[in-house]
Amino acid sequence: MAHDASHADAADHGAEHAEEHHPQWSTYWKVALILSVITVVEVWIYYTPFRDSKLFVPALLTMSAAKFAIVVMFYMHLKYDHKLFRVLFTGPLLIAIGTLTGLMFLFGKFALHLGG
Amino acid sequence: MTTMAAPAPATLPTTGEYKTGIWSWLTTVDHKRIGILYLVTALFFFVWGGLEAAIIRAQLAGPNMGLVTAQQYNQLFTMHGTTMVFLVIMPLSSAFFNFLIPLQIGARDVAFPRLNAFSYWVFLAGGIVVTLPILFGMAPDGGWFGYAPLTTKAYSSGYNIDYWVLGLQILGVASLAAAFNFITTIINMRAPGMVLMRMPVFTWMSFVVQFLVILAFPVITAALVFLLFDRFFGTNFYTVAAGADPLLWQHLFWVFGHPEVYILILPAFGLVSEVLPTFSRKPLFGYPVIVYSGILIGALGFGVWAHHMFSVGMGPIADSVFSVTTMLIAIPTGVKILNWVSTMWGGQIRFTTSMMFAIALVAMFTVGGISGIMHSSAPADLQQTDSYFVVAHFHYVLVGGAVLGIMAGVYYYFPKLTGRMLDETLGKWHFWTFVIGTNLTFFPMHMSGLYGMPRRIYTYDAGQGWEMYNLLSSIGVIFQAIGMTIFFVNFIRSWKKGAIAGNNPWGAPTLEWAIPSPVPDYNFAHIPVVTSRYPLWDQKAGDLVKSEAETTTGGRLKTAAELGIPMPFPTILPLVAAVFMTAMLCGLLFIHAGNLPLALGIMITCGLGLAFTLIKWLTSPLE
Amino acid sequence: MATAAIAESHSHGEVSHHRTSTGLNHRKVAVWAFIGSECMLFVSLISTYLIYKGRSVVGPYPHENWTDPATGKVFKEILNIPVTSASTFVLLMSSLAMVLALAAVQNKDKPMPTGWWDRQLRSSKLWLWMTALLGTTFLGFQAYEFTSFVHEGLTIRTNLFGSSFFTLTGFHGAHVTVGVLWLLALLGIDYKRGLKPADALNVDIAALYWHFVDVVWIAIFTLIYLIK
Ligand SMILES: [Cu+2]
């Protein structure tokens, strides 16, 4: 995880100019609209028969992952900011998701069927 | 590649305004002084934890001994483990993080000097909370791993475990605060030219360790919060009757616990990676490989935790996965051994005490590593788990690895710390008695373990083939104790009376050796420009540091003020904040005592005190 | 812990003359590392909730009704999706307000536009107040949720669901509370001397923390409330 920070040195001089590429008001409103729409869809499908579908959980996970990513990229400016911040966040996030997944397997939350 | 040992000055360099009173230590924000505080505190706890081990070994020296009761024995082994892990090896590493990281990267201090002081005081407070109860026979007695449900109130109703839960929570705060600080320091405060791949290996390994801390400690924080809530507020996280899973604690603990193992060992790896090149007069063999394998160890370290739990019946798939990841992680570790051996190969080796400890680490860690690989195979582990074989394994890794590496570091850096050399003759005596003692203590444990002796038993019957091995182990402790006594005599004597060291007594290559010993409070009179991984071997001194004429006046070093360097103000606020925070958490103990109003009173008062201290801290200027 | 890191970083703001190797601000680096660390804290709390899902031996349960065999009393499924959807929306909108507050501070030195709405967009006080208010509203929803659960017979001691639910959402709520206090501190500075573009970093760091807390809630809303 840590070694990626070495790229940071290369980008030293880019840091000051990053500010100029920041998104402006219109982007923030659009992002808020998208987030609201996704949230509405999430809650809406909760009340439809789709709730009993096999695809319900994957659909919800995808939608919340999308919201998560959008907030991080646009509101937390990770899309525009210094690479180092991306590394500082995604490295731990991946380890966290890996730990969560590992624990879910270990406690039998995902049925793992090998060879039927 | 030329070596340049600067001529030793006749007197120790002094700066004009260096205060030494007790108040100056309580209010210091100087990373070097905080490093010394960590060092001295950790050495004190080393004696404490060592005495606990000595009592354990005395009790086990022969069958059916009655030196301590079973209850006292539980407290002793719990406190020995907790002390050595959290109050000795981690803070000894912290001493080096504090002292060395800014010097090695060419900085004047850490990124957040006051937060750094806060870390130390919180560590000290947490150490006192876990350590003190043993004097009243109320020490934690659930093992250093504190397995719940055993540690829940249903099975451990005394105050013992409360101290452990609160103490570890407090110690976690100290480690986390320090880790954010060092991450920022290493990322942001490197001197010009000190790109990441020119950083000394100790700084690199420390960098990896800080990431392990910020990712592993939150997990045990959560596990401890559950236990704390269970014990104080009656929640059900570990209540099996309510449906709780007895493995939850084990999993969360080892998600933290395995990275913790690397938190303990990687700093020592870093230290020997500084010592071996200097005393072999050769650059480190395969520097990038050492760095990348360190990172790989750190990352893989989060995917192996369940190898501590093969015997709980996780099923063949989980057992296989964790066996494989554990075997994988042996590769980057083995690579490091190869690198160190190759560094010495063909070098002009000087057998200083520091070098001998470093070489001993390479040998003894290999022994511990090999028994570790034996555990990685789940079927073999089922035979070894909870036996003395495991005790032998992790003591080879932690004493043969971490402690020997730190000792190499202490002998190596003592001159930089104090301006004086540790005595080499006493050092050699220390080395031989301690290393012989360590092997005499821990090697026979492989045998007693294979003969079936379980861990954590307070006594045993004769006639099981364990007597001789146990006696040998206990005799080994005498040698270790002699060795450490010699060390302390050497340490205390040399601090005031040792030979004057000069800037670079070993002809070492890294930045910290370019500046005076002991280091002036501002570290570098001007920030050096680095063009090489081994600046003192590859660069001219004049490019790195200012000439003596520029940095001295009237036979002494110029002060920071004379050089125009702004220094952070000393402040008592970090200490006050640490005391309030600790007292606030300890207020919980009165809930256990059944006195809710008093508990709330203490917690609210101290909470407010903490808030006001933080506001004061926020609004007062740093320098 | 968080407070200490934040405290230190605030006060360190005065020494911006210090160069850094990456050109990045110390406090911002530290806050991102802190956020990475918080990922592991919340993953531990969420994992525990999920591991214990469906293991409580007595109700009330989150998504199913439960009849107490002793008394015959029926406890309805306890999670209130409409109310939580509203509070989720409120927290999302607080993130919008936060990012607008930051933009307002960053653009303080630009000439003031003439349109009424455009001028409102430039008001850092308005958007900081808005963020703090929405955050407080979220906390109000949470207080309502907690008290109604207790009335319906679910406390932190009732069952595994209660223990893990209250601990997880309580930790999140505590984070929101810290965030609101932080915003109020920024407002205090804004009223005292006015936030300037030079203060954008202070607002940025608070915003990062605020958005992260929001992002954690996005995960909690799906994993705990919507998935059965
Ligand atoms: Cu392990």
Give, for B170, the enclosing helix (H) or strand (E): helix B160-188
Is residue A60 domain-resident? yes
Residues A109 and A91 in one domain: yes
Interface of C with B in 24-43 (CB under 8 A): 24, 26, 29-30, 33-34, 36-38, 40-41
Q: Is the Cβ–Cβ distance between B8 and B500 less than 8 Å? A: yes
Q: Give the residues across from B420 on adjacent strands.
A: B500
Higher pLDDT, C151 or B5: C151
Is residue C79 domain-resident? yes
Does residue B475 register a pLDDT over 90? yes
Q: How many angstroms away from the CA of B237 is the closest CA of chain C?
A: 6
- As a dihedral over the C-alpha atoms of residue A8, residue A12, residue A15, residue A16, rounded to 10 degrees, the angle is 170
Is residue C74 domain-resident? yes
Closest to B231 measured CA to CA, from B610, B579, B585: B585
pLDDT band at A73; cut points 50, 70, 90: very high
pLDDT at B9: 46
Q: Which residues of B touch C163 (CB under 8 A)?
A: 226, 229, 235-237
What is the predicted ipTM? 0.93
Domain hosting residue A86, numbered range = 82-116
The alpha carbon of B379 and the centre of ligand 1 are apart by a number of angstroms equal to 16
Q: What is the mean pLDDT of residues A10-36?
A: 67
Q: Which two tokens stand for residue B409?
A: 């570091």
Is residue C139 domain-resident? yes
Residues A95 and A76 in one domain: no
pLDDT at C115: 85
Is residue C62 domain-resident? yes
Residues A107 and A91 in one domain: yes
- Secondary structure of B544-569 in the HEC alphabet? HCCCHHHHEECCEECCHHHHCCCCCC
- Touching subunits of A (3+ CB pairs, under 8 Å) are B, C
The DSSP line for B111-124 is: S-HHHHHHHHHHHH
Closest to C124 measured CA to CA, from C96, C101, C150, C149: C101
Does residue B131 register a pLDDT over 60? yes
The alpha carbon of B306 and the centre of ligand 1 are apart by a number of angstroms equal to 8
Task: State percent of chain B over pLDDT 90.
Answer: 85
Residues A77 and A89 in one domain: no
Its pTM stands at 0.92
pLDDT at A22: 59
> DSSP 3-state assignment of B84?
helix
Distance CA(A20)–CA(B57), nearest Å, equals 67
Residues A86 and A99 in one domain: yes
Average the pLDDT over each of B400-409, B546-555, C113-122 and give the range with the smallest value: B546-555
Q: What is the mean pLDDT of residues B36-59?
A: 96
Give me the residue from C14, C37, C55 closest to B215, CB to CB.
C37
Is residue C15 domain-resident? no
Higher pLDDT, B574 or C70: B574
Q: Give the residues across from B552 on adjacent strands.
A: B557
Describe chain C by its helix, strand, coil percentages, rounded to 5.
70, 0, 25
Q: How do C74-75 and C66-67 pair as beta strands?
A: antiparallel
Q: Is A2 on the interface with C (CB under 8 A)?
A: no
Does residue A13 register a pLDDT over 50? no
Give whole-number Cα distances, B613 to B170, B180, B581, B620, C3, in Å: 18, 21, 10, 11, 11
**Is the CB of A92 less than 8 angstroms away from the CB of B214?**
yes
Does residue B591 register a pLDDT over 50? yes
Is residue C66 domain-resident? yes
Is residue A14 domain-resident? no
pLDDT band at B6; cut points 50, 70, 90: very low
The alpha carbon of B307 and the centre of ligand 1 are apart by a number of angstroms equal to 6
Is residue A29 domain-resident? yes
The alpha carbon of B506 and the centre of ligand 1 are apart by a number of angstroms equal to 36
Q: How many angstroms away from the CA of A115 is the closest CA of chain C?
A: 26
Residues A67 and A88 in one domain: no
Q: What is the mean pLDDT of residues B120-140?
A: 94
> DSSP 3-state assignment of B74?
helix
Distance CA(B574)–CA(B244), nearest Å, equals 40
Q: Which two tokens stand for residue A87?
A: 């590394």
Distance CA(B191)–CA(B416), nearest Å, equals 20
Is residue C101 domain-resident? yes
- As a dihedral over the C-alpha atoms of residue B523, residue B527, residue B532, residue B537, rounded to 10 degrees, the angle is -50
Q: Is the Cβ–Cβ distance between B216 and B263 less than 8 Å? A: yes
The alpha carbon of B302 and the centre of ligand 1 are apart by a number of angstroms equal to 9
Distance CA(A23)–CA(B212), nearest Å, equals 34
Q: Is the Cβ–Cβ distance between B169 and B585 less than 8 Å? A: yes
**Is the CB of C167 less than 8 angstroms away from the CB of B111?**
no
Distance CA(B166)–CA(A20), nearest Å, equals 48
Is residue A98 domain-resident? yes
Q: What is the mean pLDDT of residues B413-437?
A: 96
The count of structural domains within chain A is 2
Does residue B75 register a pLDDT over 70? yes
pLDDT at B526: 84
pLDDT at C179: 97
Per-residue pLDDT of B103-125, as tens digits, reads 999 999 999 999 999 999 999 99
Domain hosting residue C154, numbered range = 2-10+24-226
Is residue A9 domain-resident? no
The alpha carbon of B376 and the centre of ligand 1 are apart by a number of angstroms equal to 9
**Is the CB of C218 less than 8 angstroms away from the CB of A67?**
yes
Q: Which residues of C touch B621 (CB under 8 A)?
A: 11, 14
| B3, burial (CB in 10 Å: exposed 0-12, middle 13-18, buried 19+) | middle
Does residue C76 register a pLDDT over 80? yes
Residues A66 and A90 in one domain: no
Distance CA(B158)–CA(B179), nearest Å, equals 33
Does residue B517 register a pLDDT over 90? no
The count of structural domains within chain C is 1
pLDDT at B527: 87
Give me the residue from B195, B245, B255 closest to A9, CB to CB.
B195
- Touching subunits of C (3+ CB pairs, under 8 Å) are A, B
Q: How do B556-557 and C66-67 pair as beta strands?
A: unpaired
Residues A91 and A75 in one domain: no
Q: Is B136 on the interface with C (CB under 8 A)?
A: no
Q: What angle do CA B111, B117, B123 make, to 5 degrees?
A: 120
- Touching subunits of B (3+ CB pairs, under 8 Å) are A, C
Closest to B43 measured CA to CA, from B394, B475, B495, B437: B495
Is residue A30 domain-resident? yes
Rg (CA), chain C: 21
pLDDT at C18: 59
Q: How many CB atoms lie within 10 A of CB C86?
A: 15
State the count of interchain CB pairs (< 8 A) between B and C: 151
Does residue B542 register a pLDDT over 80? no
Per-residue pLDDT of A101-110, as tens digits, reads 999 999 988 7
- Structure-token match 């009656």, residue found: B234
Give, for B165, the enclosing helix (H) or strand (E): helix B160-188
Residues A71 and A92 in one domain: no
Distance CA(B232)–CA(C149), nearest Å, equals 21
Q: Which chain B residue is nearest to residue A102, measuring alpha carbons?
A: B303
Is residue A67 domain-resident? yes
Residues A77 and A92 in one domain: no
Q: Which chain B residue is nearest to residue C157, measuring alpha carbons?
A: B235
Q: What is the mean pLDDT of residues B296-312?
A: 94
Q: Which two tokens stand for residue B212?
A: 């392990």
pLDDT at C16: 36
Q: What is the mean pLDDT of chain C?
A: 89
Q: Give the residues across from B387 on adjacent strands.
A: B454
pLDDT band at C118; cut points 50, 70, 90: confident
Residues A73 and A23 in one domain: yes
Q: What is the mean pLDDT of residues C153-170?
A: 95
Give me the residue from C21, C38, C156 closest to B233, CB to CB.
C156
Does residue C138 register a pLDDT over 80? yes
**Is the CB of C22 less than 8 angstroms away from the CB of A8?**
yes
Closest to B174 measured CA to CA, from B98, B228, B66, B104: B98
Does residue A37 register a pLDDT over 50? yes
pLDDT band at A15; cut points 50, 70, 90: very low
- Residues across chain B: 623
Q: Is A41 on the interface with C (CB under 8 A)?
A: no
**Is the CB of C57 less than 8 angstroms away from the CB of B242?**
yes
Average the pLDDT over each of A20-29, B494-503, C106-115, C204-213 and give the range with the smallest value: A20-29
Residue C144's region, left for phi above 0, alpha for psi from -120 to 50, else beta, is: alpha
Does residue B8 register a pLDDT over 70? no
Q: How many angstroms away from the CA of B236 is the closest CA of chain C?
A: 6
Q: What is the mean pLDDT of residues C122-129?
A: 93
Give, for C75, the enclosing helix (H) or strand (E): strand C74-75
Q: How many angstroms away from the CA of C156 is the closest CA of chain A?
A: 23
- As a dihedral over the C-alpha atoms of residue B500, residue B503, residue B507, residue B508, rounded to 10 degrees, the angle is 120
Per-residue pLDDT of B164-198, as tens digits, reads 999 999 999 999 999 999 999 999 999 999 999 99
Q: Is B236 on the interface with C (CB under 8 A)?
A: yes
Does residue B547 register a pLDDT over 80? no
Task: State percent of chain B over pLDDT 70.
Answer: 96
Residues A39 and A57 in one domain: yes
Is residue C208 domain-resident? yes
Q: Is the Cβ–Cβ distance between B446 and B389 less than 8 Å? A: yes
Is residue A59 domain-resident? yes
Q: What is the mean pLDDT of chain A?
A: 80
Q: Which residues of C touch B188 (CB under 8 A)?
A: 20-22, 24, 26, 29
Q: What angle do CA C83, C89, C92 make, to 5 degrees?
A: 145
Q: What is the mean pLDDT of residues B208-214?
A: 97
Output the domain CATH number for residue C100: 1.20.120.80
Closest to B523 measured CA to CA, from B596, B442, B416: B416
Q: Is the Cβ–Cβ distance between B186 and C26 less than 8 Å? A: no
